Amino acid sequence: MSRETVDETVNETGDDIRGDVVGDRILLKRGAAAKRPLIQRLNRIEGQVRGLRKMIEEDRYCLDEVQQINAMTAALREVAMAIIAQHVTAGVKIAADPETSEDVALADVTRVLRAAMRLDT
C-alpha cells in the first residue's frame, strides 16, 4: 500500500490539514484548529437532539418537532460540507503535486463528491 503525504493549510487559523494517500483513498489528519469548528457544530447538534427528545417526551406540537428536525438536518449538512471542503482541498493539492498519484487523488475526490450529492436526495 503506497503512502504519500501532502501538507496544506486550509483554514484561517493556519493549522495544517495533512492529506495522506493510502491505497485508493485520501485520509485527512486534522490539526486541533481544523477539528475545533467541526466538534463545536457537532456539540450543538447533540444539544438539538436532546432538545428534540425532550419535545417528544413532553408531547410538544408536531410542527415544532419537525422544525427542530429540519434545523438538525441543515446543521448536519453544514458539517458534511466543511468535511468535504477539507477533503477536496487536500485532494486537489495532492493531485497537483508531481510526486503523487493524480489519478488516485482525483478518483477519491470524485467518490466523496458523489456520496455528498446523495445528501440532497
Instruction: List, for residues 94-117, the tens digit of each pLDDT value.
Output: 888 888 778 888 899 999 999 988
Residue 2: per-residue pLDDT: 44
In sequence order, what are the residues at sequence separation of 6 or more whose Cβ sits closer than 8 angstroms to the Cβ of residue 63? none
Which of 23, 34, 29 has its CA nearest to residue 105? 23
Kindly give the interhelix angle for 62-96 and 32-57, rounded to the nearest 10 degrees.
Answer: 160
Range of the domain at 61: 3-120
Any idea what the CATH number is for the domain that residue 109 is in? 1.20.58.1000
- Averaged pLDDT score across all residues of the chain: 85
pLDDT > 70: percent of the chain: 85
Residue 13 phi/psi, 5-degree rounding, is -80, -10
| Number of separate domains in the chain | 1
pLDDT tens digits along 12-43: 434 578 888 888 899 999 999 999 999 999 99
Average the pLDDT over 2-9 and give the result: 42
Q: Please calculate the CA angle 111-113-118 and round it to the nearest 5 degrees.
A: 100
Instruction: Give this prediction's pTM.
Output: 0.78
